[in-house]
Amino acid sequence: MGQLAGKHALITGGGTGIGAAIAKALSGEGAAVSLAGRRREPLEQAAARLPKAAAIIADVTDPQSCAEMAAQARNAHGPIDIVVANAGAAESSSAGKIKREQWQRMIDVNLSGAFYTAQAALADVTRNDAAGRIVFIASTAGLKGYPYVAAYCAAKHGVVGLMRALAAEFGGKGVTVNAVCPGYTDTPLLEASVANITTKTGRSAEQARAALAKDNESGRLITPEEVAAKVLWLCSPAGVSTNGEAILVTGAP
């Protein structure tokens, strides 16, 4: 039996990239997983590859949708023990050109969505026998600034602050709340950044990826599996004494 046997994990943004890698890692240790997101096809494909998995259509920017998401997850696999708030999006623009709508989109999906996801499952993860885990997928942009992504950085800094607040509120109740902060990671989201760079600068896709990788301490792109390994550790019995931490994943030796 795996170290997460009998546990139920809800993972947003679970159809591709980091979310799909997290689902695979937790499932591999015996957890039942509920994969949530907006796009049905990748969710169902990811769920079909795992032994105990459900695909749930949800919009994390809508608190009612998040409440329904949690209810569907319970119907599929019972009470939720682990919440991984992974859904996110990034858009770039010079700070002086950010429109109100773009600013709000970044706050809604990256910060408000993380809160609504955690809030929807709080009653589950804080129940007496849950040994609950809440993990936010933040970013190195939640710990330092990057040019041309002011709204994204503000939202991810907010996620780290949210994590610390919930860790302080629930840490004495057998629940751990942490954030994993990856650097640039080789995912479909990164490909959107690569396309934006090539369009604006004329660089090749290879040059754009190299420029992004250079910002990671290792000088290479992080893999989704590296991020998933940190999440798995936090959700395992070994992570029980870690609470309120923002854990970097930058590929540093």
Res. 192: pLDDT tops 90: no
Task: Take residue 164 and report the two structure tokens written for it.
Answer: 């610390």
Res. 87: pLDDT tops 90: yes
> Which sequence spans correspond to the domains of the chain?
8-183+223-244, 184-221
What does the pLDDT average to over 128-136? 90
What does the pLDDT average to over 206-222? 85
Res. 253: pLDDT tops 70: no
Q: What percentage of the chain reaches a pLDDT higher than 70?
A: 100
Output the pLDDT for position 216.
Answer: 86
The alpha carbon of 2 is separated from its chain's Cα centroid by a whole number of angstroms, namely 23
Of these residues, 146, 148, 152, 184, which one is catalytic? 152
Res. 233: pLDDT tops 90: yes
Exposed, middle or buried: residue 126 (CB in 10 Å: 0-12, 13-18, 19+)? middle
Averaged pLDDT score across all residues of the chain = 94
Do 221 and 15 form a contact (C-beta atoms < 8 A)? Answer: no
Class at the top of the CATH hierarchy for domain 8-183+223-244:
alpha beta
**Spatial distance between the Cα atoms of 72 and 148, rounded to a whole number of angstroms:** 38
Output the pLDDT for position 25.
Answer: 99
- Write a three-state SS string for 125-189: HCCCCCCCEEEEECCHHHCCCCCCCHHHHHHHHHHHHHHHHHHHHHHHHCCEEEEEEECCECCHH
| pTM of the complete model | 0.94
Name residue 106's amino acid. M
159: left (phi over 0), alpha (psi -120 to 50) or beta: alpha
Helices vs. strands in the chain: H and E counts, helices first = 10, 7
Angle, nearest 10°, between helix axes 63-77 and 113-120? 40
146 is catalytic: no
